Structure formats: C-alpha cells, structure tokens
Chain A
Amino acid sequence: METDEGDMNTALMVDGNAVAGQLQQIFGRDMTMAMARCAACAREAEMGALMVFTQAPGVVLRCPACQAVIARIVETPSAIYLEARGAAFLRMAAQP
C-alpha cells in the first residue's frame, strides 16, 4: 500500500494491539479486551481497537469514533506515566 503524504498521520497509526505489552506491563494483565469509554463522546471500545500513535516521545491512544485522546503513556528510565483523563472509565473482566 502506498503512503499518501497528505494522510501521513493515518498511515503511521497503529492500534491498541501494538502496545499490548506495555499495557500488560502496567496493569499486570492483558488490557486489549478491556473496554475504554471515551470521556468526550461516550463511545466504548476495546483497548485493542483504540487508535494508537507510537512515533512520538510517548504513546498516544485515541478514540476510534471521535479521535479524542483517551490516554497517554510515557516511560522514563525510572518511571512510567499513564495519563488517562480522556477515559470516562476502563472496564475489565473480574479475575477469578
């Protein structure tokens, strides 16, 4: 598939599957099937289906419906920052 210069951001986009390892490292469980409700538009989507941009100093997760930022993850040598103001909630299955 050719990369359209005018659509560079979309071409660079991946999805929540690409950061599954990072999310699992933070939450201690797979989060790709956890639901995230967008605080902006109230759409719920599996975290695996969120739009994800990794070509930045951190990771940005966006709503697949309205593209609002749901969460950001930044890793430094000594800490991991997770900012999730854009999520009304995350819902995951209770573990037995």
Chain B
Amino acid sequence: MEQPVLQWQAGTVTAIRPETLKTKSFTLALPKWMAHRPGQHYDVRLTAPVTAPDGYQTQRSYSIASAPERMGELELTVERIEDGEVSPYLHDVLVPGDQLEVRGPIGGYFVWEVSLGGPLLLIAGGSGVVPLMAMLRHRAAQHATMPTRMLYSSRTADDVIYRDELDALAASDRTFEVFFSFTRQPPEVFFTFTRQPPTGWTGYRRRIDAAMLGEVIKPFDKRARVYLCGPTLLVEAVANTLVQMELPTEQIRTERFGPSGA
C-alpha cells in the first residue's frame, strides 16, 4: 500500500459533541484528508504557548472513531484524564473553529476492513471502544453482513460511549449483537436501567471472564477474528483467556492504551 510521508497538518474543529461525562467526540476537517483504515489513529500535538512558554511540545495518539466513508473529515473520541496534559485542553479549552495539529492516519496492525471478513468479535474496555466503533461504522457503511458481536465492558451504564448508536445498530442489523458488562454497577441501578431491555439484550455485571467470553464467542467458535482494545490489564487478561480457549493467536489483534483511564 502506498504510504505518503507522515506530515503534521492543522485540522479545523467543526464540531464537539459530549458522549458521556468523561468523553467527547471532536470532528476535524482536514486540508489533506485521506481515507484511513478502521482501527487507525491520529497523533495530536500541542505546542507552546498552549502547554508551556518554552516551545515545549507534547503529543498523544487518539483512535479514529469515524468511518473512512465519511470524506474530508474525521472524528476522534477522547476521554478526559484528570491529570492529563492533552485531554483536559481538548475538553476544556478547544471550541469549534479552533485549529488542531494532527498527523495520520497511523498504524496497520490493529486494523479491520470489510475485505478481511468475519465472523468478527469486538471486545472493548472503556474508551477502547473507539477504534472498534470505526470498524462497526465502516461495516455498516459497506452494508456488510458478516456475523459480528461486540462485548463492551464499562464501569457503569452511564460510561457507555455510543450507547444509542450501538443499540440502534443491534436493533436494525440481525447480523450484529452487542453485549454490555458493567463492572461497578450497583444492583439497584442495574435493574432500573434494564427495566426495558431491548430484545435479545444480554447484560453482565462483572469483569470479562472465561465464562462470559465462552458465551459470547460460542456461535463463532474458533473461527472468530478478535479485535480487543482497552486498558492494558483488561487486554492482558482477556487475551490470555482467549489463548487458553485455544483461539489461534493470529486471529487475535490487541491494542492496549495503558492504565485505566489513560
């Protein structure tokens, strides 16, 4: 594949949308836009005087949330990290019309395209859902029908990013199912929340474990292509469990984003 030189460019923020209390999606219009592959990310760079008076620069990688079919712009969904350097600026200071220095698209390992086929099992921890959402949006834009399941672990129902879109997708597409797992949900809140569970909705109230993985992967068995993204400890635990379940390692792609909330 042709790979143009990676260059920084100034994108223009065209929209900012809150997703949850801690996450926002930023739409950027890029002068040198190019189609990405779902799962890729962009680097975002902040330069003084934004961060410090001495020309200091700092950068972070953020996964692309939008599908490549959306031409000319891209969407990054970013979780606000309390003691972070970049995400608080993006959340608290940036407004539509501002410019943001970015380079990308970057990466080739944690990538899924319709041509790679399925059955597809997407496993997310927290904001690890972002690159998986790009895959799902790409799959929907291509009207692809390979069997696809998502297992999405978050602290509480309020922390679920793209909740409405995931539910709508699951309701309208018989080949897609989403399973949520809430690790911190108090039981009473959980039952309030599930008073009207969508048809076929399956919820868990614990961390992802072997039994849960076994249930979700069952119809795909050893043919599942797995994309797993989230906090490092979650990814480590889930990947090890999948290997113990004798899923071929070459069918498992992982992306770790560090400590929880990083």
Contacts and interface: CB of A to CB of B under 8 A. Distances in A.
A12 B258 contact: yes
A48 B250 CA distance: 13
Which of B3, B126, B258 is the most central at the interface, judged by chain A CB atoms within 10 Å of its CB?
Answer: B258
Interface residues of A, number: 27
Given A16-B109, A49-B254, A29 B3 contact: yes
A67 interface: no
B109 A17 contact: yes
B259 A17 contact: no
Interface size grouping (class) on chain B: 20 to 34
B122 to A, nearest CB: 16
A79 interface: no
B151 interface: no
Contact of A15 (B104, B125, B207, B254): B254
Interface in A41-95: 46-49
Interface in A1-41: 1-4, 7, 10-18, 20-21, 24-25, 28-30, 32-33
A32 B3 CA distance: 13
A13 B107 contact: no
Interface in B2-26: 3, 5-6
A3 B106 contact: no
B41 interface: yes
B231 interface: yes
B108 A33 contact: yes
Interface stretch (B72-80, B166-174, B232-240): B232-240
A33 B109 contact: yes
B256 interface: yes
Contacts of A33: 108-109
A1 B207 CA distance: 8
Interface in B189-226: 207
Given A20-B107, A21-B61, A48-B108, A1 B231 contact: yes
B236 A10 contact: yes
Interface in B121-135: 125-126
Contacts of A21: 6, 41, 43, 61, 103-104, 106
B256 A15 contact: yes
Contacts of B125: 1
A17 B232 contact: no
Contacts of B236: 10
A18 B260 CA distance: 15
Contacts of A4: 233
Given A1-B234, A30-B106, A33-B108, A17 B6 contact: no
A47 to B, nearest CB: 8
B110 A24 contact: no
B33 interface: no
Contacts of A47: 109
Nearest to A29: B3
Contact of B107 (A2, A3, A25, A48): A48
Contacts of B259: 3, 11-12
Contact of A11 (B103, B230, B233): B233
Contacts of A3: 233, 259-260
B255 interface: yes
A41 B61 CA distance: 30
Give the top 3 A-B pairs by smallest Cβ distance, nearest first: A48-B109, A32-B109, A30-B108
